[in-house]
């Protein structure tokens, strides 16, 4: 039941619920990765089953693809879809200009490719992810396995000349082994504290040999939907500057939340 959801889960749920209202039949939709995006995929699946919503999804990870398939959403590759109407995804941080840090779940490369191949990107999140300046969350950088230590050293050298508060760079681990992305790469996490010039950071990082992509999503997001534990949802549009506030109640059928809790 909804009353059993934690405030954090309620915030994720209402943000996802508002986001799926933007999805219309016939759309090609990018499906994000992460805990908040998983609620969105399940809610889309509910619309597919109960409303006959006709969409094609492009997943940003194998995990999301598997979830979407279980929910009855048709999943195709980005090459098959070619271009998307909308991508809905989460974020680890967002600033007042709706620039993002993403990649906490390790899917930043596919997430960025899918987001930039979309007419619109909607980010669903909770209020804890809003920051005045990006950088409190470790910035993920995807690197190829060959020579990753050289790439790490080059990044550390590069950071000396940039406006950041910290310069710790570490290889992301999965237990005792390095974390491996869906593309077979590694991730370096940069603990920077604050990024003074994220546009410059994004550009410079991608010039380092061995770097595939970084987790700074600059000028990509069109809307941020911020959920709150009391059911409030704020939708912020970067283009119009408008902020819409709505309140969702939690008097929903129990079977919906049994579905969401799978």
Summarised one tens digit per residue, pLDDT across range 93-110 is 999 999 999 999 999 999
pLDDT 10s digits, 157-209: 999 999 999 999 999 999 999 999 999 999 999 999 999 999 999 999 999 99
H or E, element range at 186: strand 186-191
Indicate if the pLDDT at residue 118 is higher than 90: yes
- Fold classification of 2-130+219-260 (topology level): Rossmann fold (3.40.50)
**What's the mean per-residue pLDDT of the chain?**
94
pLDDT of residue 250: 66
Question: pTM of the full predicted structure?
Answer: 0.93
Superfamily (CATH) of domain 139-213: ACT domain (3.30.70.260)
Give the Cα separation of 259 and 255 in Å (integer).
6
pLDDT of residue 120: 98
Indicate if the pLDDT at residue 249 is higher than 60: yes
Give the Cα separation of 20 and 132 in Å (integer).
27
| DSSP code per residue over 44-99 | HHHHHHHH----EEEESSHHHHHHHHHTT-EE--HHHH-SBSEEEE--SEE-TT--
Compute the average pLDDT of residues 15-34: 97
* Cα angle for residues 106, 109, 114 (degrees, 5° grid): 120
| DSSP code per residue over 119-146 | S-EEEEEEGGGB-SSTTSSPEEEEE-ST
The residues carrying an active-site annotation are 111
Q: Which of 6-10, 42-46, 187-191 bottoms out in mean pLDDT, i.e. has the lowest?
A: 6-10
Domain span(s) for CATH 3.30.70.260 in the chain: 139-213
pLDDT of residue 253: 40
Domain span(s) for CATH 3.40.50.1360 in the chain: 2-130+219-260
pLDDT 10s digits, 213-234: 999 999 999 999 999 999 999 9
């Amino acid at each position: 039941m909804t009353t059993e959801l934690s405030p954090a889960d309620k915030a994720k749920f209402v943000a996802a619920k508002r986001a799926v209202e933007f999805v219309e039949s016939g759309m090609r939709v990018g499906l994000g990765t992460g805990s908040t995006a998983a609620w969105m995929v399940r809610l889309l699946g509910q619309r597919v089953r109960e409303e006959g919503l006709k969409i094609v999804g492009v997943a940003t990870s194998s995990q999301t693809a598997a979830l979407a398939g279980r929910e009855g959403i048709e999943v195709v590759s980005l090459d098959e879809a070619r271009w998307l109407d909308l991508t809905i995804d989460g974020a680890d941080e967002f600033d007042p200009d709706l620039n993002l840090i993403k990649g906490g779940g390790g899917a930043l490369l596919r997430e960025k490719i899918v987001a930039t191949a979309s007419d619109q990107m909607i980010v669903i999140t909770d209020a804890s992810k809003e920051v005045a300046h990006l950088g409190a969350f470790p910035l993920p950088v995807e690197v190829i396995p060959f020579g990753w230590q050289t790439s790490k050293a080059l990044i550390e050298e590069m950071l000396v000349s940039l406006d950041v508060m910290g310069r710790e760079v570490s290889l992301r681990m999965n237990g005792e082994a390095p974390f491996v992305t869906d593309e077979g790469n590694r991730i370096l996490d940069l603990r920077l504290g604050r990024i003074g010039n994220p546009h410059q950071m994004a550009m410079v990082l991608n010039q380092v040999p061995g770097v595939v992509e970084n987790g700074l999503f600059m000028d990509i997001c069109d809307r941020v939907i911020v959920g709150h534990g009391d059911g409030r949802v704020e939708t912020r549009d970067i283009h119009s500057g408008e902020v819409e506030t709505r309140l969702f109640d939690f008097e929903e059928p129990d079977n919906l939340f049994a579905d969401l809790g799978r």
